[in-house]
Structures are given as structure tokens and as C-alpha cells.
């Protein structure tokens, strides 16, 4: 009875009452769609404008759109199988747009794609191919969600997702079936109506569910700020960060409504994975809940019913969430924004936090140690002072200047520079770059530190900076921009990688597992240089999570200076993962990571691998010199 035709069968014509019914149904469906979508759109437009928004560089936006939306690159890359299934559904939808338009037009007797015409015939087949992959894709996603049930999709089964999957599947099947039914039969008619009804039911569901991302996320990706963890400047005298609905900008609102609840952010979040209250997906959904209840003109505090202060201050700012999010949501400006809102107004009451802020208000470093100790170290390690004649200013950072292990790393890196014959000097006075206060949302102290350092550098005529600390690099290169132009700055891994051919090679190769610091990898896109440095001195092994998926050490976001964590310690989880590779040595490239693992491995006792910075790994191969001192 059914057989494949050379093209798809379309109904020959419709009764007048059918046309009326169809019109009425379209109107109802569109009305139901608008009922919700109009509300969301209104909230987005009512929200505060993003003062720092620039459309330029347009090229970047177009590319992001093409790559992340059209090609689904991020969706596929970060979760290949479900990603591909999703991509097929998406491409199917795109290919279907024309078919659907024509389908509706046929209802009014004005179809424009003729099944017999050359283009029509081609296009219907073309769409059929996509319909097939789309049907397979959605079936796959259904199996994953309802049978495999990955943890990060949430504990509750979402029946609406199941229903949506069913509708998409039905859409494809009712389309494909049109190739098999005899032309002019009632079956053609029935299929047309089935397909139509599926579409008209699907449409209003979109804005009422997370499928809103179908409509919003292309815009979200296109409009995203672009820079990683880009924290918008505060505008005017009344802006202290995100305190209430009135502080949520249009971008923040758009992002809150775009979340597709995929849980990728949570899957990679060190806080969520170690039993803390923080869950980045819930942060975004919390904002959405807030906007639903109070709207962008809401005066209620954001931290309260929908998001908690506790959670917001558990973030290490590792950036995994922002890096992973397939719809362009930027978590860090949101999380740090809410921190700003409570810190800038003095609402955040935390003993350790206050101590850190006071140390940086009154003193020069985050560790709260007298600067005289820094001078002593400089003298002991015989580091030359920067006088404007040297090529590099070697920036010590708080850890490099005051932490015993940090000092060893600085001294060893200085040996490497000396060996290479690169001239360098250290500043007599250096203040914390402001990284911890920036991430904790203390704009006052951050500004003071940034300005005072920028001034000192201009005075000293610093042209190039190199430092052992990725946090310093990031803060100088990006966060200081608001207050002036910092000299060119690079991380010691970049410096050493460039000069590898002039450094001695290792004779004996040990196995080294390299830990990517968040602020070097995701924040700066430097993955290969430190690995090159490791490879020159050992055999590189990789931890299970590495590169852009590296798992945080737990120190970032100012957390190194706050009190005890709740739940499991992030550093212990990561240290165990590094040790599990069986590598003899753990290579770090950040003094904060180093100090976190130092404590974690100390708890492990004898069996722990040795822990060295990649500068130390390199310095070991240098011929002994008598003048160097460490402590």
C-alpha cells in the first residue's frame, strides 16, 4: 500500500472551513507563544542598558555566531556524542525552515515549493535527509535523558523535555511519511494536519520552557561580551555591582533567560563537585527566577530568595562554567557582580575577607606581611633592582615575595634568566596587583592598587614584565585596563618556552604531570608553552582532566585567603587526581596552585609525588652557580 514516490505528496486542496480552522489555530498558537515570549522580551528590554557594550569587533561576533551557533562547535567539542545529536536536531530545524513555510502556505493554497519542480524536488529530499538525522538525533537525546540519565541534567526527570522530544520526532516522521503515502489519498490530508498540529503545539511550548534557547541563544552568543570573565566597569555614583533587579543589565537578563539547563557548567564546577552550596546552573536559574518574580525593576536583593551569599562566595572563579556554556552565558560577571554588590556596600561580613581587605587597604600585600620582609628576600636572593636599563621587570607578586615556596620559584626563575643572559630587575616597591580583591568584588581597594602600581611602573619606565604568577598576569593585562595601560606582561612559561633551544636538555627524563592553572589556561589560552617546558625536562603525562578542562586547585577567586571550605577540599580532589597518574613529579605553573597542593600532599604523607614549579624543573638542569641564594 505504501511505497516511496519520486517526491513528497501534498494535499490537493482544502475546504473553506479547514482554512478557517487553520487560521484560527495559527492565531491561537502565535498568541500563546507571545503570551510568554512577549513578557520575556519586555523584561530584557526594560533592564538596565549595558554601558560598556560595543558591537565592535563585529568580525569576532560573526565568527562566534558561525562557529558556535551554525557549526555547533562548542556543543560538539565539549560533549561529542550528545553534542552531535543536538547538532543534527539543530541543522534539521534550519533545513526545515523553508519546508515549514511552504507547508503553511500549502494550507492556504499558495505553496511555493513544487514537489514536481526541480528545486522543490531537490529541496524536499535535502530536508528529508536532515529530517532523518534529526529524528535519530532526538531519539538519541531522549534515550540519554530518560534512560542514561547523567547526573548533571538534574535529579528530576523533565517530562516537558520528553514531550518536546516526542513532538520533534513526530514532526520529522509526519514529514518523512509524506514520501510514502499515495498522492491524493486521505492519508496525505491527515498527515498534513498531523504535521501542522505538531508545529502549532510546539510553538507556544518554546517560550514556556528551556526551549526558549531556540529563539534566544543565537542572540546571546552573538551579543556576549567576548572576553573571558570580563567584568564590566561600574558606571556612575550609584553603581556598586549587582545588588537588586535594577542592576541586572540587558545582557544579564538575556543570558538568564537563555540557559538551556544542560548542566555543563555544573558538571565542571569544582565547588559543585565537592559538596558546596554553589551550583553555577542554579546561579543562572536563580536570576531567572528572580526576574520572573520581581523583574528587572525589582528592588528586592538578588541574594536572598533565589541566590545565596554563601554560594556566591564559594566560587574559585576557575571559569569552567563560562568556558563550557554552549549558549554564551557569562557566569563570572554575574557571580563577581553579586559579590561586588555585597562587598562594595559593606554587607559581606566575613572575618577572613575583612582581614584581607584591611591588609590591602593599609599594607602592600595580600598576606599581610611587612614589606621589610620583601626587601630582605631581595637582598638575600641577590635580585637586582629595576633601574630602567634592564629589559624585563621581574614582578614578584605577593607569593613570590612573601611565600617561602614562591620565593624559591622566583629565585630559580631568576637563575634561568641569568643563564640566558636576559637582563632584569625587580621593583623596589610593588603592591599586590589586586587579583584577590578584584575577584572578591572590592572595587575600592582594587582601584587603589591598580592605580598605585600603574603609577609606579610609569615612574620606573617599565616596558616589559615577566612573572611567575598567572593571576598577576591576568590582572595586569586585562583588569587594569580600566585604569590605564599596563606594560607588556607575560608569564614565565611563555618566556621559557621561547628560549627552550638555548636551555640545556635533560639527560634523564622523569615523568611529570602538568597541572593547568585556570588563570593561565582558560583565562589566557596558554596550554602548550608550559607543556613544552615540561617536555624539555621530562616525560609529560596528562591528568584525566587537563587543558581547557583542567580542574581548579581551589585557590582562585580570593578563596586562598578565606576560611575553611565546606565539603571536600577542592585541592585534595585535584591532588589525588594528579597523583593517580603515577607521575613522580607534579609540575605547576602558579604559586597559588603550588601552595594548595603542598598542603594537600602534606596530608598524603610519604607516598606523595614531589611538587615543583616548571621554573624549578628548568633550573635543575642549569650548571650550579655559587652566588644564588634562595630563602
Q: Which does 426 bind (CB under 5 to 8 A by kind): another protein, ligand SF4, none?
A: none
Q: Rule CB under 6 A: is residue 263 a binding residue for ligand SF4?
A: yes
Please say which residue, 494 or 565, places its beta carbon nearer to ligand SF4.
565
Please say which residue, 241 or 263, places its beta carbon nearer to another protein.
241
Cα 433 to Cα 487: distance, rounded to the nearest angstrom: 13
Q: Mapping DSSP to helix (H, G, I), strand (E, B) and coil, where does residue 611 land?
A: strand
Please say which residue, 245 or 270, places its beta carbon nearer to ligand SF4.
270
Q: Which does 101 bind (CB under 5 to 8 A by kind): ligand SF4, another protein, none?
A: none
Q: Rule CB under 8 A: is residue 345 a binding residue for another protein?
A: yes
To another protein, the closest distance from the beta carbon of 428 in angstroms equals 9
Q: Which does 237 bind (CB under 5 to 8 A by kind): ligand SF4, another protein, none?
A: another protein
Q: What is the 3-state secondary structure (H, E, C) of 518-558?
A: CCCCCCCCCCHHHHHHHHHHEEEECCCCCHHHCCCCCCCCC
Q: Which of 172, 329, 416, 445 binds ligand SF4 (CB under 6 A)?
A: 329
Question: DSSP code of 71?
Answer: S
Q: Rule CB under 8 A: is residue 361 a binding residue for another protein?
A: yes
Question: DSSP code of 613?
Answer: E
Q: Rule CB under 8 A: is residue 454 a binding residue for another protein?
A: no
Q: Give 540's strand partners.
A: 512
To another protein, the closest distance from the beta carbon of 242 in angstroms equals 14
Burial (Cβ within 10 Å: 0-12, 13-18, ≥19) of residue 385: exposed
Q: What is the CA radius of gyration of the chain?
A: 29
Q: Which does 315 bind (CB under 5 to 8 A by kind): ligand SF4, another protein, none?
A: ligand SF4
Cα 178 to Cα 188: distance, rounded to the nearest angstrom: 7
To another protein, the closest distance from the beta carbon of 434 in angstroms equals 13
Please say which residue, 549 or 584, places its beta carbon nearer to ligand SF4.
549
Q: Which of 170, 177, 325, 512 binds ligand SF4 (CB under 6 A)?
A: 325
Task: Give the x-and-dash track for 209-248 against ligand SF4 (CB under 6 A).
Answer: ----------------------------------------
* Residues 439, 317 contacting (CB under 8 angstroms): yes
Q: Rule CB under 6 A: is residue 414 a binding residue for ligand SF4?
A: no
Alpha-helical (H) ranges within 238-368 are 250-258, 264-268, 280-293, 309-312, 320-324, 331-343, 351-362
Q: Which three cell numbers stand for residue 573?
A: 580532589
Please say which residue, 58 or 354, places its beta carbon nearer to another protein.
354
Part in contact with another protein (CB under 8 A); list of ranges 212-220, 252-260, 326-334, 345-353 = 345-353
Task: Give the x-and-dash track for 368-387 against another protein (CB under 8 A).
Answer: --xxx---------------
Cα 444 to Cα 555: distance, rounded to the nearest angstrom: 22
Q: Which of 343, 383, 394, 426 binds another protein (CB under 8 A)?
A: 343
Q: Which does 284 bind (CB under 5 to 8 A by kind): ligand SF4, another protein, none?
A: ligand SF4
Part in contact with another protein (CB under 8 A); list of ranges 24-32, 34-42, 200-208, 360-368 = 360-368
Q: Which does 445 bind (CB under 5 to 8 A by kind): another protein, ligand SF4, none?
A: another protein
To ligand SF4, the closest distance from the beta carbon of 160 in angstroms equals 16
Of the candidates 181, 193, 199, 198, the residue with the CA atom closest to the CA atom of residue 9: 181
Question: DSSP code of 516?
Answer: P
To ligand SF4, the closest distance from the beta carbon of 359 in angstroms equals 24
The percent helix, strand, coil of the chain (3-state, each to 5) is 60, 5, 35
Between strands 464-467 and 488-491, the pairing is: parallel
To ligand SF4, the closest distance from the beta carbon of 441 in angstroms equals 13
Overall residue count recorded for the chain in this entry: 631
- C-alpha count within 13 angstroms, C-beta hemisphere, residue 247: 27
Q: Rule CB under 8 A: is residue 603 a binding residue for another protein?
A: no
CA dihedral 97, 99, 100, 102 (to 10 degrees): 120
H or E element, residue 393: strand 392-395
Q: Rule CB under 6 A: is residue 256 a binding residue for ligand SF4?
A: no
Site for ligand SF4 in 265-304 (CB under 6 A): 265, 268-271, 278, 280-281, 284
Q: Which does 343 bind (CB under 5 to 8 A by kind): another protein, ligand SF4, none?
A: another protein
Please say which residue, 343 or 489, places its beta carbon nearer to another protein.
343
Q: Which does 199 bind (CB under 5 to 8 A by kind): another protein, ligand SF4, none?
A: none
Of the candidates 226, 231, 224, the residue with the CA atom closest to the CA atom of residue 327: 224
* Residues 237, 231 contacting (CB under 8 angstroms): no
Can you list the positions of beta strands (E) in 115-261? none
H or E element, residue 465: strand 464-467
Cα 568 to Cα 622: distance, rounded to the nearest angstrom: 40
Q: Which does 534 bind (CB under 5 to 8 A by kind): ligand SF4, another protein, none?
A: none
Question: DSSP code of 179?
Answer: G
Please say which residue, 312 or 575, places its beta carbon nearer to another protein.
312
Residues that bind another protein (CB under 8 A): 234, 237, 240, 343-346, 351, 353-354, 357-358, 361-364, 370-372, 442-445
Residues that bind ligand SF4 (CB under 6 A): 259-265, 268-271, 278, 280-281, 284, 315-321, 324-325, 327, 329, 331-332, 335
Amino acid at each position: 500500500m505504501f511505497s516511496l514516490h519520486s517526491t513528497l505528496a501534498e494535499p490537493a486542496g482544502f475546504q473553506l472551513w479547514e482554512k478557517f480552522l487553520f487560521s484560527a489555530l495559527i492565531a491561537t498558537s502565535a498568541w500563546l507563544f507571545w503570551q510568554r515570549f512577549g513578557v520575556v522580551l519586555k523584561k530584557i528590554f526594560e533592564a538596565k542598558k549595558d554601558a560598556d557594550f560595543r558591537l565592535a569587533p563585529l568580525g569576532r561576533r560573526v565568527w562566534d555566531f558561525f562557529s558556535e551557533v551554525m557549526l555547533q562547535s562548542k556543543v560538539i567539542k565539549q560533549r561529542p556524542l550528545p553534542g552531535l545529536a543536538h547538532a543534527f536536531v539543530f541543522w534539521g530545524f534550519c533545513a526545515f525552515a523553508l519546508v515549514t513555510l511552504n507547508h503553511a502556505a500549502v494550507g492556504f493554497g499558495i505553496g511555493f515549493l513544487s514537489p514536481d519542480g526541480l528545486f522543490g524536488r531537490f529541496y524536499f529530499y535535502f530536508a528529508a535527509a536532515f529530517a532523518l538525522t534529526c529524528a535519530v538525533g532526538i531519539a538519541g537525546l531522549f534515550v540519554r535523558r530518560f534512560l542514561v540519565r547523567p547526573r548533571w541534567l538534574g535529579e528530576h526527570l523533565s517530562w516537558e523535555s520528553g514531550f518536546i522530544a516526542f513532538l520533534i520526532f513526530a514532526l520529522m516522521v509526519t514529514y518523512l511519511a509524506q514520501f510514502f503515502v499515495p498522492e491524493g489519498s486521505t492519508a496525505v490530508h491527515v498527515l498534513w494536519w498531523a504535521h501542522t498540529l505538531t508545529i502549532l503545539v510546539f510553538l507556544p511550548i518554546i517560550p514556556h520552557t528551556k526551549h526558549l534557547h531556540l529563539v534566544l541563544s543565537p542572540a546571546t552568543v552573538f551579543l556576549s561580551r567576548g572576553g573571558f570573565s570580563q567584568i564590566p566597569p561600574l558606571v556612575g555614583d550609584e553603581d556598586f555591582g549587582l545588588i537588586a533587579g535594577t542592576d541586572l543589565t540587558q545582557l544579564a537578563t538575556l543570558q538568564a533567560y537563555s540557559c538551556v539547563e544542560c548542566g555543563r557548567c555544573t558538571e565542571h564546577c569544582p565547588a559543585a563537585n565537592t559538596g558546596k552550596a554553589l551550583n553555577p546552573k542554579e546561579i543562572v536559574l536563580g536570576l531567572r527566577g528572580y526576574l520572573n518574580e520581581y523583574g528587572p525593576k525589582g528592588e528586592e536583593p538578588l541574594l536572598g530568595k533565589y541566590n545565596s551569599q554563601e554560594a556566591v562566595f564559594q566560587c574559585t572563579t576557575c571559569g569552567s562554567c563560562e568556558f563550557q556554556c554552549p549558549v554564551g552565558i557569562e557566569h563570572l560577571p554575574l557571580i563577581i557582580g553579586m559579590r561586588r554588590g555585597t562587598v562594595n556596600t559593606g554587607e559581606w561580613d566575613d572575618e577572613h575577607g575583612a582581614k584581607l581587605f584591611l591588609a590591602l587597604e593599609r599594607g602592600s600585600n595580600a598576606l599581610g606581611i611587612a614589606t621589610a620582609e620583601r626587601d630582605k628576600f631581595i637582598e638575600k636572593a641577590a635580585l637586582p633592582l629595576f633601574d630602567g636599563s634592564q629589559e624585563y621587570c621581574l614582578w614578584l607578586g605577593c607569593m613570590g615575595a612573601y611565600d617561602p615556596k614562591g620565593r624559591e620559584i622566583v629565585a630559580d626563575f631568576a637563575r634561568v634568566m641569568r643563564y640566558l643572559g636576559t637582563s632584569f630587575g625587580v621593583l623596589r616597591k610593588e603592591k599586590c596587583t589586586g587579583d584577590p580583591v578584584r575577584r572578591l568584588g572590592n572595587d575600592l581597594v582594587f582601584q587603589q592598587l591598580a592605580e598605585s602600581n600603574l603609577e609606579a611602573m610609569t615612574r620606573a619606565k617599565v616596558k616589559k614584565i615577566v612573572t611567575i604568577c598567572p593571576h598577576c598576569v591576568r590582572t595586569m593585562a586585562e583588569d587594569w585596563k580600566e585604569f590605564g595601560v599596563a606594560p607588556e606582561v607575560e608569564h614565565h612559561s611563555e618566556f621559557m618556552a621561547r628560549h627552550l633551544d638555548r636551555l640545556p636538555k635533560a639527560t634523564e627524563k622523569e615523568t611529570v604531570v602538568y597541572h593547568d592553572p585556570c588563570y593561565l589556561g582558560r583565562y589566557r589560552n596558554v596550554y602548550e608553552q608550559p607543556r613544552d617546558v615540561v617536555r624539555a625536562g621530562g616525560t609529560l603525562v596528562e591528568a584525566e582532566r587537563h587543558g581547557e578542562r583542567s580542574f581548579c586547585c581551589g585557590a582562585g577567586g580570593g578563596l586562598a585567603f578565606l576560611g575553611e571550605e565546606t565539603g571536600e577540599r577542592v585541592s585534595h580532589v585535584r591532588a589525588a587526581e594528579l597523583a593517580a597518574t603515577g607521575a613522580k613529579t607534579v609540575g605547576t605553573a602558579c604559586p597559588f596552585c603550588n601552595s594548595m597542593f603542598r598542603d594537600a600532599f602534606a596530608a598524603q604523607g610519604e607516598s606523595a609525588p614531589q611538587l615543583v614549579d616548571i621554573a624549578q624543573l628548568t633550573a635543575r638542569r642549569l650548571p650550579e652557580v655559587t652566588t644564588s641564594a634562595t630563602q
